[in-house]
Chain A
Amino acid sequence: MALFDLTGKTVLVTGATSGIGRAVCRGVLEAGGAVVATGRDGKRLDGVFEDAVSEQFRPVVADLVAPAGREELVRELPSLDGIVHCAGALDLAPASFLSSKKLRALEAINYEAPVLLTTALFKAGKLNPGGSVVFVASVTGFSGAKGHVLYAGSKGALIAAGRSLAIELASKRIRVNSLAPGMVRSGMVEQAAGALGDEAMAAHEAEYPLGFGEPEDVAWPVVFLLSDASRWVTGTTLVCDGGFTAR
């Protein structure tokens, strides 16, 4: 099972204080890798990982939406063997109440930040050959849902950009894949429940053959995509949705 091991690899995890980001950090550490974890809020970052801080774990406060924040982060980071883009936002709204402000806000964190952070790290020579980039997207990137126009658009764009990045970076043996989760029990699910109501959420969960996921259910597939076990896998999207889109 050595191919699944991340020993000797350094992985950047953005949005590390989110449910999925946090589980990915723990997954990478458990697989033997070192983690550089970013979040906007330093206190939260320290609080979430109180027990994890070690030589293998380094928290960094960064604002990924601001170009200057990304530049600073790129300067600060060591050479990386993997990036997992977990930072993202959700804003549910019906088609009749969309605005360019809402669209730009979601696009900035869900699409622009992960894509431009990856390309800036690549340009700076901080992505090692054999490295792996994982975009945490969403099943809404290819499967429609009411109220999700802007969110789905940003995640679909991310998936599409990942495929072209995969082609362009293949000559350096850098792989780029997306991971498309369905509903995972995290802050975002609570946010969706706030917008849809508990009853609608329960009805939605009934549509998942395996029920809603836990953050760990997404973290282990991410570890696979980071590891050499997936060395021939690039430009693809791994769906992790408990069978939701299989129906």
Chain B
Amino acid sequence: MEIKTLIDEFERSIEGLAPGSIAPETRFQELEQWDSLAVLTTIAMVDAEFEVELTANEILACNTIREFAELVEAKRGR
């Protein structure tokens, strides 16, 4: 999985994010749009698009989008 694919899906699914606004080093939890619904949406998005099941705490343990992508990738490999 290319990190670009994940970023595209992330930008598409979280309400209010402009295309191109997210980079690998973005600290996504500091985004204005990041709230409990965004967490739920991220869980649903990785499940629907990458067939990966994550818990909120796993996502919240990531600082950057790159770390999040690594988490998704690691889970996909299993």
CA–CA, A30 and B5, complex, Å: 57
Name the contact of A195 in the complex, choosing from B13, B39, B45, B48 (C-beta under 8 A): B39
The answer, yes or no, to whether A67 is at the interface (CB within 8 Å) is no
A-B contact count (CB 8 A): 49
CA–CA, A194 and B41, complex, Å: 13
Name the contact of A194 in the complex, choosing from B13, B37, B47, B56 (C-beta under 8 A): B56
When distances are taken between beta carbons in the complex, the residues of chain B under 8 Å from A92 are 40
Instruction: Given A194-B55, A195-B55, answer yes or no on A94-B37 (Cβ-Cβ < 8 Å).
Output: yes
B60 and A199 contact, CB distance less than 8 A? yes
When distances are taken between beta carbons in the complex, the residues of chain A under 8 Å from B40 are 92-94, 146-147, 195-196
A146 and B57 contact, CB distance less than 8 A? no
When distances are taken between beta carbons in the complex, the residues of chain A under 8 Å from B57 are 193-194, 197-198
The main secondary structure of chain A at its interface with chain B is: helix
Instruction: Write the nearest CB–CB distance from A108 to chain B, whole angstroms.
Output: 20
The answer, yes or no, to whether A97 is at the interface (CB within 8 Å) is yes
Instruction: Write the nearest CB–CB distance from B62 to chain A, whole angstroms.
Output: 12
The residues in B between 35 and 77 inclusive whose CB is less than 8 angstroms from any CB of A are 36-37, 39-41, 43-45, 47-48, 55-57, 59-60
The main secondary structure of chain B at its interface with chain A is: helix
CA–CA, A147 and B59, complex, Å: 17
The answer, yes or no, to whether A200 is at the interface (CB within 8 Å) is yes
B56 and A97 contact, CB distance less than 8 A? no
The residues in A between 183 and 213 inclusive whose CB is less than 8 angstroms from any CB of B are 193-200
When distances are taken between beta carbons in the complex, the residues of chain B under 8 Å from A196 are 36, 39-40, 56
The residues in A between 117 and 154 inclusive whose CB is less than 8 angstroms from any CB of B are 146-147
CA–CA, A206 and B41, complex, Å: 23
The residues in A between 70 and 123 inclusive whose CB is less than 8 angstroms from any CB of B are 92-94, 96-97
CA–CA, A147 and B56, complex, Å: 13
B60 and A96 contact, CB distance less than 8 A? no
Instruction: Write the nearest CB–CB distance from B48 to chain A, whole angstroms.
Output: 6
Name the contact of B13 in the complex, choosing from A96, A193, A198 (C-beta under 8 A): A96
When distances are taken between beta carbons in the complex, the residues of chain B under 8 Å from A93 are 40, 44
The 5 closest A-B pairs by CB, nearest first: A197-B56, A97-B44, A94-B41, A194-B55, A200-B36
Instruction: Write 23 A-B pairs (CB below 8 A) sorted by A numbering.
Output: A93-B40, A93-B44, A94-B37, A94-B41, A96-B13, A96-B41, A97-B41, A97-B44, A97-B45, A97-B47, A146-B36, A147-B36, A147-B37, A193-B57, A194-B55, A194-B56, A194-B57, A195-B55, A196-B39, A196-B56, A197-B36, A197-B55, A197-B56
